[in-house]
Structure 1
Amino acid sequence: MPFVKSADQAEIYYEAHGSGEPLVLLSGQANTHHWWDNVRADFEAEHQVIVLDYLGTGRSDKPADAEYSVRRFATDVVCVLDELGIARAHVYGTSMGGKVAQWLAIDYPDHVGALVLGCTSVGGVHGLRAAPEITRALAQPSADAAREVLIDLMYSPEWVRENPGPYVTLGGPMPGHARRGHLRASNAHDSWAVLDQITAPTLVLHGTDDAFSPVDNALILANRIPGAEVHYLDGARHAYFEEKRAEASAAVLGFLAEHPLD
């Protein structure tokens, strides 16, 4: 199995599929590379697609005493790229993966070609969070009830009726310390002050009906990143990349084609 050692010697699991210009796909909080299972094929014909399990998830190590932060996750991505001998790659991150992608573009600009940020936020006081009642509903003791809330945040009722699951975006089993570490990592993200340092061509995607990461986060992000473009997915919720797969994947592929790696 393909693993790479991170800077603190934790083992990070990764996979590479397809061929062409490399493209890193970054999943949401407390999720593995399976987050992309239903759409990854859209990119493999034109790109070498790289996915990974964050520290604490899937097949990667799950140490209790490690640093869990989106900035650290970005460093782990660079370790994967180095292991594959890839000097530069396009990066597409959604939800918490979009936060990781921001730090990749800020801390490792030479490694990033085009940047795509989906259903994500600048964090901190400038980022918009889910309403308190949503946070409370997700934290309720009943796992089944919390799961139903999460499904409703990810997909419209119409889409759920036509697609009964299973849903790859709902995460999987992971130790409590790692799950808490991921929550702290995502909540601590704040890139506002340094987003203007991003030099990568940037596309921001967001579903107009996203209550998990309110849609105005897209414009807040785009206004901070020089030259960034915004593409809204009408009627989509947090998992826009599945529900509006044809439109979203086409938008990403078109943007990457406009900004090839040198």
Structure 2
Amino acid sequence: MTYATTPDGTRIAYQLRGNGAPLVLLAGQANNHHWWDLVRTDFHPARSTLTLDYRGTGDSDKPDTPHSTELFAQDVIAVLDDLGIDRTDIYGTSMGGRVAQQLAARHPHRVSSLILGCTSPGGPHSIERDNDVSLALAQTRPGAARQALLDLMYTPQWLADHPGPHHTLGDPRMPSHSRRHHLAASNRHNAWDLLPIISAPTLVLHGTDDLLNPTANAPLLADRIPNAPLHLIPDARHAYFEEARAHAGRLVLDFLAPPPHSGRGLH
């Protein structure tokens, strides 16, 4: 296992796979790098992929201290520094998209291009999920909340054809304090005032049937970030990147500019 150490002494586990200029893949809330297991090899003909386990997940340390999307972004910087990566492309989905917003706004010299998937700006300007969705996720009957989350992630037909295991439902090894810190970090995110200063070329992706992070957040991001194109993926739910992997993966690869000959990648 390979680790980077953050300024506050937290060890962050990371995983570099494939060859070529790296594409950083950032997972959703309370998830580790396995979030990307089904699709990361789709990028390997053109790029290497770099994932990490957020603090509180996977093989990273799990301090019982407050978390934030800005702190998660600083953890990503620690990983890039450990690898000697000056500047790279970032693809964040769900809470990972919120972390990616912080990266692009606060560390613009480290981000070559940005892809934001199934995410939102947070704060009072974002569109909240319906109350019935929140109630379904809060069910206490055994298995009920998990099934509700599955239904928010995938269509019934896809689930019938893909019985699992599903790696987008949260890290089962997370301690309860880490789950609370992740939830708080995501809930407190508010990048509305930061979005207009993002200078990296940005692509916004979202499924048209996403109720977990309502689709209406996608045009908010695209309108707020300068010159950001928006692609809505028909009939897809929150885990569009898996269910519509061929379509979504091609959109990402087509958007990413060929890496320059210098100033980017592994030293």
TM range (shorter): over 0.9
**Residues 114-167 of structure 1, C-alpha deviations (whole Å, 9 max, x = no match):** 100000000001111211111111112124100000000000111111111111
Structure 1, 100-109 or 44-53: larger mean CA deviation = 44-53
Taking the aligned partners of 1:137 and 1:235, their CA distance within structure 2 comes to 21
Alignment of 1:117-132 (within 5 A): 117-132=116-131
1:31 — aligned with what? 31
Deviation at 1:71, TM superposition (A): 0.6
Gap regions ≥5 residues in structure 1: none
Task: Identify the residue that residue 104 of structure 1 maps to in structure 2.
Answer: 103
Q: How does 1:170-189 map to 2 (within 5 A)?
A: 170-173=169-172, 174-189=174-189
Question: Matched residues in 2 for 1:143 and 1:88: separation?
Answer: 45
Letter of the 2:41 counterpart: A
Q: Secondary structure at the match of 1:51?
A: strand
Sequence identity, in percent? Answer: 55
| Structure 1 residue 253 corresponds to structure 2 residue 257 | no
TM-superposed deviation, 1:48 = 2.0
Larger relative helix fraction: 1
Distance in 1, Cα, partners of 2:155 & 2:116: 21
- Structure 2 residue aligned with 1:22: 22
Establish whether residue 221 from structure 1 lines up as the match of residue 221 from structure 2.
Answer: yes
Q: What is the CA–CA distance in structure 2 between the aligned matches of 1:12 and 1:125, rounded to whole Å?
A: 31
Measure the CA separation in 2 of the matches of 1:197 and 1:225.
Answer: 8
3-state SS in 1 of match to 2:194: helix
**How far apart, CA to CA, are the structure 2 residues paired with 1:172 and 1:124?**
25
Name the structure 1 match of 2:143: 144
Distance (whole Å) between structure 1 residues aligned to residue 58 and residue 235 of structure 2? 31
Q: Tell me how far apart the structure 2 counterparts of residues 241 and 102 of structure 1 sit (CA, whole Å).
A: 18
Following the alignment from structure 2 to structure 1, what is the Cα–Cα distance between the partners of residues 216 and 188? 19
Distance 1:209 1:260 in 2: 33
Hey, what does 2:199 align to over in structure 1? 199
2:103 corresponds to which letter in structure 1?
L
Q: CA deviation at 1:182?
A: 0.3
**Paired residue for 1:81?**
80
RMSD: 1.0
AA partner of residue 141 (structure 2): S
Q: Secondary structure at the match of 1:93?
A: strand
Which position in structure 1 is the counterpart of 2:59?
59
Which residue does the alignment assign to 1:10?
A: 10
Structure 1 stretches of 4+ with a deviation exceeding 4 A read none
User: In the aligned structure 2, how far is the partner of 1:90 from the partner of 1:82?
Assistant: 15
- Give the TM-score taking structure 2 as reference length: 0.95
Cα shift at 1:171: 1.3
Name the amino acid aligned to 2:112: G
Task: Write the distance in 2 (CA, Å) between the matches of 1:32 and 1:51.
Answer: 9
Larger displacement relative to structure 2 (91-100 or 3-12): 3-12
Change in Cα spacing, 1:2 to 1:229, as seen in structure 2 (3 Å) is same
Code of the residue aligned with 2:63 in structure 1: it is P
